[in-house]
Chain A
Amino acid sequence: MTDPFPPPLLSVHDLACERSERLLFTCMNFGLTGGQLLLVQGGNGQGKTSLLRLLTGLGQPDAGEVRWRGEPVARCRDVYYREMAYLGHANGIKDEFNPLENLRFNAGLHGQAFKPDQAVATLQRLGLSRCLDLPCRALSFGQRRRVALSALLLAGASLWILDEPLTGLDTHAVALVEGLIRDHLHAGGMVVATTHQAMNLADVSVQQLLIGEAPKQRAAAQAH
C-alpha cells in the first residue's frame, strides 16, 4: 500500500538568509516530494536566487537547515549532489568547447559515464543538431542555454534547481523547456524554479512560494 503522504525528499527547516546586512527571509519551512514543482516568486533582489543557492548548498544559511532525505545537506553532500542538478543564471559551459565536449566534461566531473549517442540525441531533441561541432562561443545566448539544459537532462538527477530557466529563450524554446519540466515531474522528479514569467504547466502539482518584503514589515515567507 503506497503511502499517500510520503515524507518530503527535500525539506527546509526554519531557514533564514541575510545578504549584505539585509534580512531576506526568516522562518522558512517547506517540503517537496516526487512529482512536485515549487515555484519561487518575488521581485528582483528579494532573495529568490539566494534561496536557490542555499538549497544547492553553495551558500550557508544564517539559521535553520536544508535537508535531503532527512539528512542535513551539509552532511550528505556526495549523496545529494548525485541526485541534484543546478542551473543558475550563468550557463556553466565553456565557450572554448563545442556542445558535445561540454557535455562530456560535465559528465566526467559529476562522476557519470558519458554516452555519446545519448548526448547527441539530447542535443538534437533541444534543437541543436546543427551546432554540434561549433565552439559554444559561436552560439547565441538561447543556444548556449539549451546546451546547459542538455547537461541538466543528461545528469539524471531527481531534483532540478533552476534559476529563471525561461529567461532569454524564444517562445518555441520556452514551450520546449516547459515540456521537459512536465516530463520530469511526471516521471517522479522534483523541480524548484524561480521565474518572472507565468509557466504553462497543466496537470502538475505546483506549490508557490512568494518571497518579499512588505513595506515597513519583515514578512515571513511561508509556502501555501
Chain B
Amino acid sequence: MGSYFLNVLRRDLTLAARRRSDWLTALFFFIMVSSLFPLGIGPEPELLQRIGPGVLWVAATLASLLSLSRLCDGDHRDGSLEQMVLSPAPTVLLVLGKAMAHWLVYGIPLLLMAPVLGIQFNLPWDAIAVLVFSLALGTPILSILGAAGAALTLGLRGGGVLLTLLILPLYTPALIFGAGAVDGVMAGTGAEANLSLLGAFLLVSFLVAPWIASASMRVSLE
C-alpha cells in the first residue's frame, strides 16, 4: 500500500520534471501578481508592509489554484487516470499521492520565493519567517482541497475557473489564519494562536478531503 503511494508520487514527479514549463509558469504568476499591487496602490513602505502579508498570501493562493486543474486533467484525457483507479490499492492513496506531488512541485517553489517577495514588501525578518512557515502549512491544505475540487470538475468545460470558484470559499480560513499570523508577529501579539488554528485546519482538511476526493473521482469517472 505504501509502495502504491510512492509509485503515484514518483510517477507524477517524473511527469512534472518532463514538463518543466508548468511549475515555472505558476511561480512567475506568483511573482507578477505580487508585483502588481505596489503598482496599483503605491510604493510607500509602511503601506506595503501593512498589506504585504495579505497580498502575498492571496497571490500564493491564486498561483497554486492555477496549477490545480492540471492535477488530473492530463491523466484523465489519455485514460491513465482510470487505469490508476482500477488498481487493487484504495483510491484514497492515489489522491494523496497526487496531492503530495502537487505540493512538492507547485507549493515548495512558492515557499522558496516568498522571502524574496517579502523583502519587496518591506517585511521584517521575523515576519518573513512566519510567512514562510504559514505558507508551508497552508499550501498542503490547498493541494488536498484542490484535489477534491479537481476530482469533482474532471473533464468539465471551464474546469479551471470552476475549480477556483469551488475551492476559494473553502480555503478562506487558511487565508485568514495565515495572513493573521504574519500580522500578529508584526503587531507584536505573536503568531502562535493563528498558526495553531492553521495547523488544526490542516489536520481537519486531511481527515475529510482525501475521502471526498476519492469518492468524487469515482463519481466523475463513471
**Interface residue total, chain B, C-beta cutoff 8 A:** 27
Which B-chain residue is minimally distant from A111 (CB atoms)? B88
Q: Does B221 contact A (CB under 8 A)?
A: yes
Residues of B within 8 A of A91 (CB): 78-79
Which residues in window 40-71 of A have CB below 8 A to B?
53, 56-60
Q: A107 CA to B143 CA in the complex, in Å?
A: 26
Q: A92 CA to B221 CA in the complex, in Å?
A: 14
Q: How far is the CB of B70 from chain A (nearest CB, A)?
A: 13
Q: A59 CA to B87 CA in the complex, in Å?
A: 15
- Contact call B8/A53, Cβ cutoff below 8 A: no
Which secondary structure dominates chain B's binding surface? helix
Q: Which of A59, A91, A92 has the most CB of B within 10 A?
A: A92
Q: Does A86 contact B (CB under 8 A)?
A: yes
- Contact call B222/A94, Cβ cutoff below 8 A: no
- Contact call B4/A96, Cβ cutoff below 8 A: no
Q: Does B80 contact A (CB under 8 A)?
A: yes
Choose among A56, A59, A81, A89 the residue that contacts B79 (Cβ–Cβ < 8 A): A89
- Contact call B222/A109, Cβ cutoff below 8 A: no
Q: Does B19 contact A (CB under 8 A)?
A: yes
How many pairs of residues, A versus B, come closer than 8 Å at their CB atoms?
77
Which B-chain residue is minimally distant from A144 (CB atoms)? B78
- Contact call A96/B87, Cβ cutoff below 8 A: no
Q: A82 CA to B86 CA in the complex, in Å?
A: 9
Which B-chain residue is minimally distant from A107 (CB atoms)? B7
- Contact call B88/A92, Cβ cutoff below 8 A: no
Residues of A within 8 A of B8 (CB): 109
**Interface residue total, chain A, C-beta cutoff 8 A:** 30
- Contact call B78/A81, Cβ cutoff below 8 A: no
Q: How far is the CB of B5 from chain A (nearest CB, A)?
A: 11
Q: What does the 1/0 interface line of A86-110 toward B look like (CB < 8 Å)? A: 1011111111110001000110111
Q: A224 CA to B14 CA in the complex, in Å?
A: 48
Q: Does A78 contact B (CB under 8 A)?
A: yes
- Contact call B222/A53, Cβ cutoff below 8 A: yes
Q: Does B157 contact A (CB under 8 A)?
A: no
Which A-chain residue is minimally distant from B77 (CB atoms)? A90
Q: Does A77 contact B (CB under 8 A)?
A: yes
Which residues in window 104-151 of B have CB below 8 A to A?
none
Which B residues are closer than 8 A to A by beta carbons? Answer: 3-4, 7-8, 10-11, 14-15, 18-19, 74-75, 77-80, 82-89, 218, 221-222
- Show 17 A/B contacts (Cβ-Cβ < 8 Å), sorted by A: A77-B88, A78-B88, A82-B88, A91-B78, A92-B78, A92-B83, A94-B78, A95-B78, A96-B19, A97-B15, A105-B14, A108-B4, A108-B7, A108-B10, A109-B7, A109-B87, A110-B87
